[in-house]
Amino acid sequence: MRAVHTRLDSPALIEDPWGDRLGFAGEREAVQARAGAPDLDAILRAHPSYGTVILRARYTEDRLADAVREGVRQYVIVGAGMDSFALRRPQFAHELEIFEVDHPSTQELKIERLAAYGIALPVGLHLVSADLSETRLDKALAGSPFRRELPSFFSWLGVTGYLTREANLETLTAIASCAPAGSEVVFSYLDESLLESGDAEDPMQKARAQVASLGEPWVSGFDPLRLQQQLQGTGLEIVENLGPEALGARYCAARSDGLHPSPGSHLARARVLA
């Protein structure tokens, strides 16, 4: 979706062509077959989550740039998957040490795909292999060059909806426990009311049914109005909590291409407490 946005939407909120390389032909064909349509770009642009995927990346990188200006030099991408930030480093990120944390099999696949194009892992990128359902994030980072005494920035995008509330709170607690006060995390989450809706014709409910059919159901969310209360005990305080309306007003108000965030999708920025 980020690659499609880079090619087709104007103005592009992010410049990320890497999806065209990291996604293989067989996967593209599988998406086309499920949708019953030949135009993959059109399929992706019509998906209910398309705008949110773009906007959460832009927001996160805006906030990361702010953090770098304030002296942060470590960036941890939790559940990195095929994230391409380290491959396309914006100018502001040239001095960052980047830590991608994900399941070993996912990281092996990513390395294989880069190797297929003759691309080596960038300098300053550290792959931290861990199954976070078995190993806490702070313990996983402890086995890497990550320096817990240095202010750091974390992102955790497109993951929390697939985990239980307890697992989400444990990971947020781990972030707060391995970074000094003032460090920040941006994470996306679903409005928990979305999981209670019974409207099968709603686009987000169709998306929910689709991911469930693939064996990865949405299982939890947070209440946007009670988020700080729900995060009590994690060691984090909410700095910014943006719903689709606020995200749309910030990034889409002057657009004519119809780009907009998905209903029920939210972004939060939290800071580690002293």
Query: pLDDT by residue (tens digit) across 31-85?
Result: 888 888 889 999 999 988 999 999 999 999 999 999 999 999 999 999 999 999 9
Give the span between the Cα atoms of 232 and 176, in whole angstroms: 12
Residue 27 pLDDT level (bands cut at 50, 70, 90): confident
Give the span between the Cα atoms of 195 and 188, in whole angstroms: 15
How do residues 195-228 score in pLDDT, each as one tens digit?
Answer: 877 666 677 777 777 776 777 788 899 999 999 9
What pLDDT, on a 0 to 100 scale, did the predictor assign at position 160? Answer: 94
Give the span between the Cα atoms of 183 and 151, in whole angstroms: 5
Q: Which domains does the chain have, with CATH numbers?
A: 48-272 (3.40.50.150)
**Cis omega before residue 151 (within 30°)?**
no
Residue 264 pLDDT level (bands cut at 50, 70, 90): confident
Which DSSP letter does residue 112 get?
H
How do residues 101-142 score in pLDDT, each as one tens digit?
Answer: 999 999 999 999 999 999 999 999 999 999 998 999 999 999
Cβ atoms of 156 and 185 within 8 Å: the answer is yes
Give the span between the Cα atoms of 174 and 162, in whole angstroms: 18
Average per-residue pLDDT for the chain: 93
- Mean pLDDT score, 155-172: 95
Give the span between the Cα atoms of 16 and 14, in whole angstroms: 6
- Mean pLDDT score, 6-23: 93
What pLDDT, on a 0 to 100 scale, did the predictor assign at position 21? Answer: 87
3-class secondary structure, 119: coil
Give the span between the Cα atoms of 106 and 51, in whole angstroms: 25
